[in-house]
Amino acid sequence: MKYMLLIYSAESCWIDEERTACMVDSLALCDELAARGQFIDASPLEPVTTAVTVRVRDGQTLVTDGPFAETTEQLGGYFVLDLADLDEAIAVATRLPPVTKSTVEIRPLFVLDGLPPAHPVSAGEGKPGATFLMLCYDDEGAWRAAGPTAQGVAMAEAAALCRELSGSGAYLSAAPLHPVETATCVRVRDGRRVITDGPFAETHEVLGGYYLIRAESRDAVARIAERHPGVRVGAVEVRPVFDLSGLRKRA
């Protein structure tokens, strides 16, 4: 089973030296997981001040600076792993270097037919442009009301967009997530693990999937986000991915 582990924390709780050490230690754990065939992808994100959020309402595109939700703790990075089950995902989450200051939300990935082959973040190193994560926030209630036919059409539209991006060399990976009720959150405080059911934050629109793409600029990604089917009832947050190439030799 493939899982996305989302790392939420207050950016102010990390000093630069701690953040760098955490990333180096995380890279070492990624290498360990890769040796076991469990690693797919991972990366920290640039600060939340670099985010832009895109919505489309009544045919009008609304672009705002800043993240999708104003919360004390923000998404700071992610891991995508291939693990046996939720118990193994919880065990890995407990070992993640940022977990002592963060909340790790575990979400299973949904298998969507028609997606191009995925590539890790490192596949984009040395290529023109930068790497961006498009976080797709959905109104699950609106999709349930729309019915399975409308959902199927939207998923086919999303997969077609991925194939188009792949054809232009912009696509690295993408996946929808299982519904938010499947989420599990893990925290470690003073050596004690705390596990709770449900997502990190209770919001009307919840994270429903992601795209990882290469592009020349954040504005170019925002234009791609306008074409995502979910943006008409939800929102897409665009965040630059942190370039780890300078830290890999220290892991």
Which range marks the domain in which residue 134 is found? Answer: 2-250
**Which pLDDT belongs to residue 243?**
87
Residue 184 — φ and ψ, nearest 5°? -135, 135
**Which pLDDT belongs to residue 251?**
47
**Which pLDDT belongs to residue 248?**
63
Which candidate, 208, 242, 218, 215, places its Cα nearest to that of 63?
218
**Which pLDDT belongs to residue 250?**
52
pLDDT along the chain (251 residues), means of 10: 96 93 94 96 94 94 90 92 98 97 96 90 61 92 84 92 95 94 96 94 85 94 94 94 76 47
What total of structural domains would you count in the chain? 1
H/E element, 89: helix 86-95
Look-up of token digits 């939720």: 86
Domain containing 158 — which CATH number? 3.30.70.1060
**Which pLDDT belongs to residue 127?**
57
